[in-house]
Structure 1
Amino acid sequence: MNENFHSGHFCCEQCNKALSGQSYILKEEKPFCVACYDNCFANECAECNQKIGHDSKDLIFKSKHYHETCFEARYTCSMCKASLADKAFGNWDGQLCCLQCYEKNLAKNCQACGELIKPGMKRLGFQGKEWHDKCFRCKVCDEHIGGGIFVPKEDNIYCSSCYEETFGTKCAGCGKIISTGGLQYKNEPWHRECFGCAECGKSLYNTRFTVRDDKRLCADCFGERYARKCSECKQPIVGQGGTKYVCFEQRNWHNKCFNCKRCQVSLVNECFVTEEDIICPNCAQG
């Protein structure tokens, strides 16, 4: 330890026994005689409950320590029955298996490259199929997906953006993917905001509209451009809400507007007289 001692002063840290000419073991740069080292630091075998001395192999499995011979007696490959001491092995479905038996009987081939997925390799599994981590890539853009979001389809996997672009429903108006909501019109999909009036562009979702010359029109635009106009109030006469109107001599009125010009009594389903204006019989006699 790059230090000098009298022969009687180089002693065991635990029992103070002189170590000159004796075997000793350093622990954290402190010397211990063999007996004290085994007594203080040796692990206890989980099988035989005896100390695992400094001159014995200390095998660790599931945080427990074993003599080599005890480990060989307790743990063997479930397939070939060979001892697992000093061998690579793993636990598959509760059964211990050596590396050779695993590769021969249990290992799966990567769905992408077809090569064997060996123990210790990072892998990803989905619905009984497995991939090397490096091979778990989008079918379209070839970007590495790893533990990210993906969508499976048949034997391929896609990142979410490529899946939407390849298989997603596209709006008949703007041509972009409809990810949420939307509506169907004449067997075509639309974004709600794209399904609009041909004149003003206002969305017609969940709203009554009229089709004229293959154009969708909201009530306001239809009334402004095509509807009859009331001779009294000059407003469009549209059919929404069961609107009723009167037609006479190429003129039109809302029912509520078809009144005697003088006394304002309603003339709907009543007799009337035409002079310069339409009036009721009483006003005509007066």
Structure 2
Amino acid sequence: MTPSICCRCNEQIRHRAVCSLGKAYHPHHFTCTECGLVVDPRLFFAVDDDVVCGECYLGHHAARCSACRTPILERCFSAVGRKWHERCFRCVSCSKPLISSSFFDINGYLFCKKHFREQFSPRCAACGEPIEDRAVVALATKWHVECFRCFICRQRIITGGFRIHKGQPICLACCQPTTIALSPQNLCAL
């Protein structure tokens, strides 16, 4: 059996050797490559094939959670190029876990589908609720299809166009001279 050579001092190891990462060390040379302190061979981290103590690993190498910024030492969740503790991968509005559901990332903050729509979807000009599906774009704003109604008769404006009266949509039927009284407040801007 050939004698072991310490990888730190290149001298023969006569009594006890610490063997780790395919290398042999004198026990007093099994030190952290960052802080230089002797490391317990049972409690160390390997970084780039070097020995790193727990404190240096936590301070310089451990992945940090995108939510709480503490080191991740257990199972983590990776998404959108960042990592989270499983317990931190939640909607910022309701704290609902997002691991098995749809989520949206806005400036580093995670939202469940419901709260994303509530906070970031365009609002209907008539009812003020978020628009999730199709929308009518008219008068420089958006409307739910079912909310786009004539200001006079309250019927849905579906096809055929509309006119504008005092900034409100008016169906073409209400703009016809035979269907409305001709008073200054009822005239459509044609």
Band the TM-score falls in, shorter-chain normalisation: 0.5 to 0.7
Answer yes or no: is the 8 Å Cα contact 1:107–1:117 preserved in 2.
yes
Matched, 1:186 2:139: yes
The answer to whether residue 100 in structure 2 is matched with residue 147 in structure 1 is yes
Q: Tell me if structure 2 keeps the 8 A contact 1:134–1:146.
A: no
In 2, Cα distance between equivalents of 1:97 and 1:187: 62
Q: 1:138 to 1:97 in 2, by over 3 A?
A: farther
Q: Following the alignment from structure 2 to structure 1, what is the Cα–Cα distance between the partners of residues 146 and 42?
A: 68
Report the equivalent of 1:114: 69
Q: Offset at 1:97?
A: 7.9
Given residue 131 of structure 1, which amino acid in structure 2 is its aligned partner?
Answer: W
Pick 1 or 2: higher relative contact order, CA cutoff 8 A, min separation 6: 2
1:210 pairs, out of 149, 160, 163, with 163
- Contact in 1 for aligned 2:162/2:171 (Cα 8 Å): yes
Are the equivalent residues in 2 in contact too, given 1:89–1:96 (CA < 8 A)? no
Specify whether residues 186 and 216 from structure 1 end up closer, same or farther in structure 2 by C-alpha distance, changes over 3 A only.
closer
Specify the alignment match of 1:225 in structure 2.
179
**CA distance 1:215–1:155, change in 2 (3 Å):** closer
Corresponding residue for 2:123? 170
Distance 1:99 1:194, change over 3 A: farther
Could you tell me the percent identity over the aligned residues?
A: 23
What residue identity is the alignment partner of 1:107?
Answer: A
Name the structure 2 match of 1:103: 57
Q: Which runs of 5+ in 2 are unaligned?
A: 1-18, 24-31, 34-40, 183-190
Deviations 1:69-126, CA, capped at 9 Å, x for gaps = xxx78x549x97xxxx978879x9xx778785793553211122221101xx221122
TM-score (norm 1): 0.42
- What is the Cα-based RMSD across aligned positions, in Å? 3.5
Displacement of 1:195 in angstroms is: 1.0
Deviating above 6 A after TM superposition, structure 1's stretches of 4 or more consecutive aligned residues are 85-90, 95-99
Contact kept in structure 2, 1:210 and 1:216, CA below 8 Å? yes
Task: Give me the TM-score of the superposition, normalised by structure 2.
Answer: 0.61
| 8 Å Cα contact 1:138-1:159 kept in structure 2 | yes
**1:159 paired residue number:** 112
Q: Distance in 1 between the 2:87 and 2:22 partners?
A: 33
Q: Deviations over 1:134-172 (max 9, x none)?
A: 011111112222232110011211111111111111101
**Structure ID, larger Rg:** 1
Q: Measured at CA, do residues 97 and 137 of structure 1 come closer, stay the same or move farther in structure 2, by a change above 3 Å?
A: farther
Q: Secondary structure at the match of 1:163?
A: helix
